[in-house]
Amino acid sequence: MAAPSDLSKLRIDREAHSAPVRKAVVRNLVLFAVAIVLVGAAAMVVRSRSVPTVQVLTASASASNTSGASAGGATTVTANGYVVARTKASVSAKTPGRLAYLGVSEGSFVRRGDVIARLDNADFDAAVAQAEANIASSEAAVIEARADRDQLVIEPRRIREIRARNPDLVSQQDLDVATSRAAQAEARVNAAEARKRSADAALRIARATNENTIIRAPFTGTVLRKDAEVGEVVAPSVGGGLTRGAVVTMADLASLEVEVDVNEAYIGRVHGGWPARITLDAYPDTSFRGRVRQVVPTADRQRATVQVKVSIDDHDPRILPEMGAKVDFLAPDSARADAGAASRPVIRIPAAAVKTDSGTTVVWIVRDGRLVRRPVQTGPVSGGFLEIRSGLNGGEQLLTGGVESPTNGMRVKVP
């Protein structure tokens, strides 16, 4: 009889299978948590990248100058312009000719009367020599004519004395002939002297014409540009072709000033003698002291501006003609005291910070990382700045760039 089968071996060992299941569950949970973290991080990265970085500026009222660059009070208006020299000239020859010598270059310092250039003057030298020869010839003719006259003038007087003592010795005809010859001698002297005066005038003209071939500095200054080279033909005015008008352009750098165009709406805030702060485009971190020299008594009808000339008090070798400059006109302390303490502070911001939205002039304020639309009223543009007449109190952060189409509530970030 066969032995009974051991059925206990067919039993499922649940303890042996539970450990791998738990490990798989734990592994899946960890992977799921990592995936959630990665998705969240990716979402945060995408979200942060979707928030644009913008440029802002802080709206502030004009304040007294504290940099020490210029005396004065608050900025009343700003205008843009260029550095120019009050004394500037394009130096040319007074007579046409070929340039034979040029003794200066750009940057050369010359004093009044110094020789700058010289034209080919061989023909003028010859004309001077010929005029001098004519002078010598005319002087000899005068001497000869005077000698003849001195001899002939005595003859009529001697004949008169003889006729007075004995009229029968000489006739009236002899007296008339002698008198005529003396008059002719006097006429020859006068003619010789006239030819000498003419020769003198011709010599002066020849020397002046020869001197005109020498080009001298009309004032003390610095050569800014050479307009011609040796060998070129120059003339008092540009004649086209190979003819040059000016030889050099020079200026007195001690007379540099700034010419700016002030919007006529603000010209009442600019007065002669008031201080100004000058900032060159080439050196935006440096300012120079200036003073209003002149408000030109006429306006530009097309641009609605008035030209103002500002003298530069701080002479600096870095200031060069034709440099771009910005001028802040400052109210002196006496003017501010007269205006009183209750005067409204002026908020001036760059024109780029002001936008037009649906026909309304607005600025976009950055507040708590979001854009806020704020309608404002502005004055005319002057020097790239706008005066905010209402809508801002000062201290607001204004959007100036980084977003092409801002919307109310849009999230942004400031660097």
Judge whether 51 lies within some domain: no
Residue 413 resides in a domain: no
- 284 lies in the same domain as 304: yes
Percent of the chain residues past pLDDT 90, beyond the cut: 28
Domain total in the chain: 3
- Choosing from 295, 311, 335, the residue where a domain stops is 335
Q: Are residues 231 and 100 in the same domain?
A: yes
Confidence of residue 76 (pLDDT cuts 50, 70, 90): confident
Greater confidence (232 vs 24) lies with 232
Q: Supply the mean pLDDT for the chain.
A: 80
Tens digit of each residue's pLDDT (9 = 90 or more) over 127-180:
888 888 888 888 888 887 787 777 776 677 776 767 677 776 667 776 667 777
pLDDT tens profile 298-357: 999 998 999 999 999 998 989 999 999 999 999 886 555 554 444 556 787 888 888 887
Burial of 163 (0-12, 13-18, 19+ CB in 10 A): middle
284 against 27, higher pLDDT: 284
Is there a domain that residue 275 lies in? yes
Domain extent, residue 278, equals 256-335
- How many C-beta atoms lie closer than 10 Å to residue 28's C-beta? 10
Q: Which of 132-141, 207-216, 292-301, 369-378 has the highest mean pLDDT?
A: 292-301
| Residues 315, 175 share a domain | no
Residue 68 pLDDT more than 60? Answer: no
Do 244 and 103 share a structural domain? yes
Residue 113 shares a structural domain with residue 188: no
The model's confidence at residue 223, banded by pLDDT at 50, 70 and 90, is very high
* Structure confidence at residue 275 (pLDDT): 94
Q: Is the pLDDT of residue 374 over 90?
A: no
**Of the residues 282, 314, 335, which one is the last residue of a structural domain?**
335
Torsions phi, psi of 134, nearest 5? -65, -35
In a domain, 40, yes or no: no
Q: Which of 62-71, 309-318, 359-368 has the lowest mean pLDDT?
A: 62-71
The answer on 126 and 116 residing in a single domain is no
Contacts for 171-180: CB closer than 8 Å, 24+ residues apart: 178/152
The pLDDT value given to residue 280: 94
Q: Is the whole model's pTM more than 0.75, yes or no?
A: no
User: Using the 8-state DSSP alphabet, how is residue 245 labeled?
Assistant: S
CATH code for the domain of 101: 2.40.50.100
Q: Are residues 246 and 263 in the same domain?
A: no
The highest-confidence range among 17-26, 73-82, 187-196, 278-287, by mean pLDDT, is 278-287
In a domain, residue 186? The reply is yes
pLDDT of residue 170: 67
- Cα distances from 263 to residues 46, 346, 374, 414, in angstroms, run 47, 16, 26, 34
